[in-house]
Amino acid sequence: MQPGQHRETARVILCKPNLEIFLLKTHFDPEVGLPPRWITPGGAIDLGETVLAAAIRELAEETGIQASAADLGDLVWKTQGRWDWADGVNHHTFVDHFYLLQIVDFELDDSGWTDDERRDVLEHRWWSLSDLKDSGESVSPPGLVDFLAGHLQG
């Protein structure tokens, strides 16, 4: 990532019937210098790609789950913001687009991971919203836990 860069992503919230959410604990790009945080599967939208197509592709690459447009349905949340880098000088902006996929369970298939993902993904797990709130762990993007609490339990 370059200073001042803008990044748009397509992300998928995987949710079990008991409302547990699947998250990946990842590093930021090394140059950003921020501590790891928990994120949903997803990633950058490629040039010419729709948000929905990117969500389907990223979900398959990062989890092995093959979902259709009908499975993901409509966008459930969109948020934007700015990440200030650890150096206190640089930053980048982002827009994250979220879909929701209800799922009973799955076995993570990381065969589609890039070298960067193999370097950056530290852990993965299912979280209950209460455990996630109480954990003190960093979750990205800011506001995701509150959105989930309102949307899933609302």
Digit-coded pLDDT (tens) for 59-94: 999 999 999 999 999 999 999 999 888 898 998 899
pLDDT digits (tens, 9 = 90+) for 7-32: 999 999 999 999 999 999 998 877 88
Judge whether 29 lies within some domain.
yes
**Count of structural domains within the chain:** 1
Backbone angles phi, psi at 78, to 5 degrees: -140, 130
Distances (CA, A) of 31 to 2, 34, 60, 99, 132: 8, 9, 27, 28, 27
Among 42, 49, 40, 44, smallest CA distance to 20 is for: 40
The parent domain of residue 21 ranges over 6-153
Judge whether 1 lies within some domain.
no
CATH code of the domain in which 90 resides? 3.90.79.10
- What's the rounded Cα separation, in Å, for the pair 86 and 91? 9
Please tell me the pTM assigned to this model: 0.95
